[in-house]
Structure 1
Amino acid sequence: MSISLSGILSSLTSKPLPPGYSLKPADSESSDSQSTHSPAEQKFLDYMKMSPAERMHAAMMSQLGITEDEYNAMDPAAQKAVEQKIQQMIQQQAEQNNDKRTGLITDVSV
């Protein structure tokens, strides 16, 4: 028994779709579909696009009470001081964690 992809597609497209459904892939967002997102949805989508390291950095900046715009407006010396404070915070969190597995904290600044 063989199944034809064209037969399946034609049977799908011949029937009307329920409201709110589309045959487009979920990840294919056009520029006009992005404009329909609420500010909260857009903030969430931007957050989900971040890497885990970027998320951790954003969380630490939030704990320090610094926004991304404020950070970008700082001079390089102030940015370096903020980065050092974030490194200290991460190291303190790792030390407070009782998990002493090898490689948990690695200094790659050689």
Structure 2
Amino acid sequence: MSVSFPGAVATPTASSTKSTLTAKPAQTAEQKFLEWAKMTPAERMHAQMLSQLGITEDQFKAMDPAAQQKIEEKIRDMIKKQAENGNDKRPGLITDKSA
């Protein structure tokens, strides 16, 4: 029989301890930066697009192949729209500096 009283500190149960131990440790800013720096430009773009869709890389990897394919199609469409809507006529984008 368990008795609780005000101000008592709850002791962790076996199930709560197990879930705490299996959780990923929080990454430091340095670890996040180094992880980002090691990515290729394509991997960075993929991560940014997933972020815009509100999906983490872990969530994406946990999806079934059909769902991953749908996400990949959305990402392709997003990239295509960005390329089409990009302001390629900005002043100084292509400049002849040979003069």
What range is the shorter-chain TM-score in?
Answer: 0.5 to 0.7
2:65 alignment partner, one of 76, 83, 86: 76
Q: Tell me the residue number matched to 2:35.
A: 46
Which structure's relative contact order is higher, taking Cα pairs within 8 Å and 6+ residues apart?
2
Secondary structure of the structure 2 residue equivalent to 1:99: coil
Amino acid at match of 1:89: M
2:87 alignment partner in structure 1: 98
Aligned-pair distance for 1:39? 1.2
Matched residues, percent identical? 67
* 1:99 CA displacement: 2.2
Displaced runs of 4+ in structure 1, greater than 6 A?
Answer: none
- The normalised TM-score by structure 1 is 0.55
Computed over aligned residues only, the root mean square deviation of the Cα atoms, in angstroms, reads 1.4
Unaligned runs of 5+ in 1: 1-37, 101-110
SS of the aligned residue for 1:53 comes to: helix
Aligned length: 63
Q: Distance in 2 between matches of 1:70 and 1:97?
A: 30
Amino acid of the structure 2 residue aligned with 1:77? A
Flag structure 2 segments of 5+ consecutive residues without an equivalent: 1-26, 90-99
Amino acid at match of 1:90: I
Q: Which amino acid aligns with 1:52?
A: P
For normalisation by structure 2, the TM-score amounts to 0.61
Residues 9-33 of structure 1, C-alpha deviation per residue, up to 9 Å, x if partnerless? Answer: xxxxxxxxxxxxxxxxxxxxxxxxx
